[in-house]
Structure 1
Amino acid sequence: MGTEATLVFLTVVGARFVVPLFIPKYPLPAIIVALVLDGIDQTIFQWFGYDPPGYQGYDKAMDMFYLSVAYFSVLRNWTSRPAIEVARFLFFYRLAGVVLFELFDNRVLLLIFPNTFEYFFIAYEIVRMFWDPARVSMRRWVITAGCIWVFVKLPQEWWIHVAQLDFTDTVRDHPWIAPVLAVLIIAVALWIWLWLWPRLPERAWPLKLAADPLPEEIDTAAERDQWVASHWRVFSLPTLENVVLIGLLCVIYGQVLPERRTSDLELFIGIAAFVVINAAISLAVARRAGGVESMAASFGARVLVNALLVLGADWLLNQLGDDLNLGIALFFSALLSLLMTLDDRFRPVEQVRFSASRPPLATRT
């Protein structure tokens, strides 16, 4: 790979890591940009004469990264518990499917486990732009997810991953497709304008694109620490959820990283151990030292701690006649640090928002 292709590759990959970090603050615009990047990155590579080896594996790893950030932003921002539960199922269902795809290299698995979460996230944020999602029933959220699953994602997954068709080539070979699609788009637009839009409820507020402020009960580090210290445990369902999420995400990345020497099971177990250690560190900090307001500072401190843990593990393995691939190990520790930082910041918000009884938190001065 030449210098130009290398720079293009690093720029695109860097963008696919950075853009999702805006999803918690600007959910709809950021996830649409991430979706567009996902759709055009291979075309950009080909423009510069580079065809990345193992593109499908790389693409699915980057997809699951930005969907993971979107999932954590669900915990921070969403005010509808039914919508959160639907999103949680859709996210982990897709995560399981991508892992199976990476392990067995069977494209049909991507059809069986479609990425419904992504478009469900977009649907929720479209509702939130004008209306209160908390007023929407579980039944309607399930119907929304079902319609996306059946009428949007199944055809899309079949087209891309099973039939492996290219839109441009298909339109060139079958010219009648373009006018038919144009008529369908116009028909849908007219249906929305003439039938759906007049039947929608009155808007609850003007256009919203940025995420809402955090609840007053937990919008400072002191309040978050008090909640975590009182309610969190190291061995708990949230820790198990993070073990599954981060462990499986790292297994997906492990399929595309070169020179990895561990098996998938060994990688998952190692990541699980780091997640539990990080959960213990988060609880200890909340109970004793206290957190900081800056998310960047929290992330930096966690990266440093996990890097030291990796170096310590490497030293211990050296004493036993083995070693780590430090580059890969440090990459995984940085990825884990980012996701655990997001969890530490956002999960308490969901818990406080839906707490049956909200005990008094830190007193404001």
Structure 2
Amino acid sequence: MRFNSDLLIFLLVVGARFLIPLLIPRFPLPAIIACLIIDAADQSIFQKYTSLDLANYQSYDKALDIYYLTVAYLSVIRNWRNGFAMEVARFLWYYRLIGVVLFELLEQRFLLFVFPNTFEYYFIAYEAVRTCWDPRRLTRNAVLWMAGLIWVVIKLPQEWWIHIAQNDFTDFFQETIFGVEPGSPWGQTFSNRPVVAVALVAAIIALVFAGRVGWKRLPSPDWSLRFDVDKPVPDVTIEEALAGDPYYDEAKEGPALKWPIFEKIALISLVSLIFAQMLGIRLPNWQVFLATALVVTINAGISHLFVRNGTEWGSLFISTVVLVAVNSIVLAVFAAWARDGRVNRAAAIFFGVLLTLIIVMYDRFRGQRSRRIAALAI
């Protein structure tokens, strides 16, 4: 019975971490915040309610973090209409992704400090603006200041705290701030230093007050509060829509096997190297990269056919089924070829489904963006 409850909790948590990110393209802000909450709570849930061995938790956690952030990046391609902000997001995303891969290869924690995860909070900041304002209002200077402040003021201290100092915030909060043993009940924690507790409450009230004052100084909202990015927005001019957008040339010339294929290979290969650590695929990293490039190249012709033919649900379903079949066959053959047991067949099939999901979402969202810009350019 204990095993069954452990398995149920594990499946519920992992299922949530796999399915909730799929809401990010449509409801980016609430969905990514939900991902953050689950990411923060999952280890505590496993420790409190299960007897699971968490020895490999870090690699599991990191891989699922990369998964939901990959979906967030794909939603940038789908949704963002500020071309310069999109290019900054692309840089921040690949910069962090390269850093995580280097960390997996070299196992040097300082690399996660050098390559901070600025992309995530930058994404949240942009989507927070979009809830009430048109993000095309953001000038280049505003975008750079937003990214720079998040990088220097928020992420560098956070990455240093987690990966260099390797401190636990809860332990620090209880032991250093309130002078109790880590893990003490919260009632005992706050009562040990009541003056500090009162000061914290006062600080929170002051922050809320400052936030209300700052909110009143913001420009008038362009629309009522909204979290669904598919709700209609005011029409845009050609200049606003195309300024700095990397998809404009493709919209004029039509989809081609140029930059999108190279980006797709880079994106999926980097993600695959990280997931290979989680799945226990004991292969040289260059072989993982080559296998991924092979899958992407084989898929390229198939996926581009569906991009050219539209993005209706029917074609999306068919393209997904076709690519799942193709990728599963390719990776199953690869697993059979590695007969020394370095590749688990079940892991290979899961790997194929993961690649398929990313490929289909990338092609679908890129196609949507290209057609939207092409329509504006007519």
> Fold conserved (TM > 0.5)?
yes
Distance in 2, matches of 1:157 and 1:266, equals: 31
Q: How far is the alpha carbon of 1:24 from its aligned partner?
A: 0.6
- Within a 5 Å distance, the mapping from 1:127-206 to structure 2 comes to 127-174=129-176, 175=178, 181-194=200-213, 196-206=214-224
- Amino acid in the other structure paired with 2:31: A
Q: Which residue of 2 aligns with 1:224?
A: none
Distance in 2, matches of 1:229 and 1:214, equals: 24
Q: Note if contact 2:251-2:373 (Cα within 8 Å) is conserved in structure 1.
A: no
The residue matched to 2:278 in structure 1 has which SS?
Answer: coil
Distance in 1, matches of 2:359 and 2:252, equals: 16
Q: How far is the alpha carbon of 1:343 from its aligned partner?
A: 1.0
Q: How far is the alpha carbon of 1:3 from its aligned partner?
A: 3.6
Q: How far is the alpha carbon of 1:137 from its aligned partner?
A: 0.6
- Amino acid in the other structure paired with 1:155: P
Q: Deviations over 1:16-54 (max 9, x none)?
A: 111100101111111000011111111111112334222
The residue matched to 1:255 in structure 2 has which SS?
Answer: helix
Which of 285, 294, 302 is residue 273 of structure 1 equivalent to? 294
Q: How many residues align?
A: 343
CA gap of 1:290–1:204, structure 2 versus 1, over 3 A, is: closer
CA gap of 1:5–1:202, structure 2 versus 1, over 3 A, is: same
Q: Which residue of 2 aligns with 1:19?
A: 20
Q: Does the alignment pair 1:83 with 2:85? A: yes
CA gap of 1:181–1:74, structure 2 versus 1, over 3 A, is: farther
Q: Which residue of 2 aligns with 1:34?
A: 35
Distance in 2, matches of 1:146 and 1:72, equals: 22
Q: Does the alignment pair 1:257 with 2:259? A: no
Which of 207, 216, 225 is residue 207 of structure 1 equivalent to? 225
- Within a 5 Å distance, the mapping from 1:1-365 to structure 2 comes to 2-47=3-48, 48-174=50-176, 175=178, 181-194=200-213, 196-213=214-231, 231-234=254-257, 236-258=258-280, 260-286=281-307, 292-294=312-314, 295-313=316-334, 317=337, 325-354=344-373, 358-359=377-378
Distance in 1, matches of 2:117 and 2:209, equals: 28
- Unaligned runs of 5+ residues in structure 1 are 217-226, 360-365
- Unaligned runs of 5+ residues in structure 2 are 179-192, 236-249
Q: Note if contact 2:324-2:352 (Cα within 8 Å) is conserved in structure 1.
A: yes
Distance in 2, matches of 1:193 and 1:228, equals: 43
Q: How far is the alpha carbon of 1:312 from its aligned partner?
A: 4.9
Distance in 2, matches of 1:63 and 1:3, equals: 26
- Amino acid in the other structure paired with 1:254: A
Q: How far is the alpha carbon of 1:292 from its aligned partner?
A: 4.4
- Amino acid in the other structure paired with 1:5: D
Distance in 1, matches of 2:261 and 2:93, equals: 17
Q: CA RMSD in A?
A: 2.8
The residue matched to 2:18 in structure 1 has which SS?
Answer: helix
The residue matched to 1:157 in structure 2 has which SS?
Answer: helix
Q: Note if contact 1:214-1:349 (Cα within 8 Å) is conserved in structure 2.
A: no
Distance in 1, matches of 2:311 and 2:330, equals: 20
- Amino acid in the other structure paired with 1:283: H
The percent identity for this pair of structures is 44
CA gap of 1:108–1:324, structure 2 versus 1, over 3 A, is: closer
Q: Note if contact 2:6-2:52 (Cα within 8 Å) is conserved in structure 1.
A: yes
Q: Deviations over 1:236-272 (max 9, x none)?
A: 11111111111111100111213x2421110111101
Distance in 2, matches of 1:92 and 1:240, equals: 13
- Amino acid in the other structure paired with 2:362: D
CA gap of 1:51–1:158, structure 2 versus 1, over 3 A, is: farther
CA gap of 1:9–1:321, structure 2 versus 1, over 3 A, is: closer
Q: How far is the alpha carbon of 1:275 from its aligned partner?
A: 0.8
Q: How far is the alpha carbon of 1:301 from its aligned partner?
A: 2.9
Q: Note if contact 1:27-1:125 (Cα within 8 Å) is conserved in structure 2.
A: yes
Distance in 2, matches of 1:152 and 1:206, equals: 29
TM (normalized to structure 2)?
A: 0.82
- Amino acid in the other structure paired with 2:127: E
Q: Note if contact 1:20-1:31 (Cα within 8 Å) is conserved in structure 2.
A: yes
CA gap of 1:322–1:207, structure 2 versus 1, over 3 A, is: closer
Q: Deviations over 1:49-79 (max 9, x none)?
A: 3342222221111111000001111111111
The residue matched to 2:283 in structure 1 has which SS?
Answer: coil
Distance in 2, matches of 1:298 and 1:279, equals: 12
Distance in 1, matches of 2:41 and 2:297, equals: 37
Distance in 2, matches of 1:182 and 1:297, equals: 55
The residue matched to 1:53 in structure 2 has which SS?
Answer: coil
- Amino acid in the other structure paired with 2:134: D
Q: Which moved more, 1:140-149 or 1:170-179?
A: 170-179
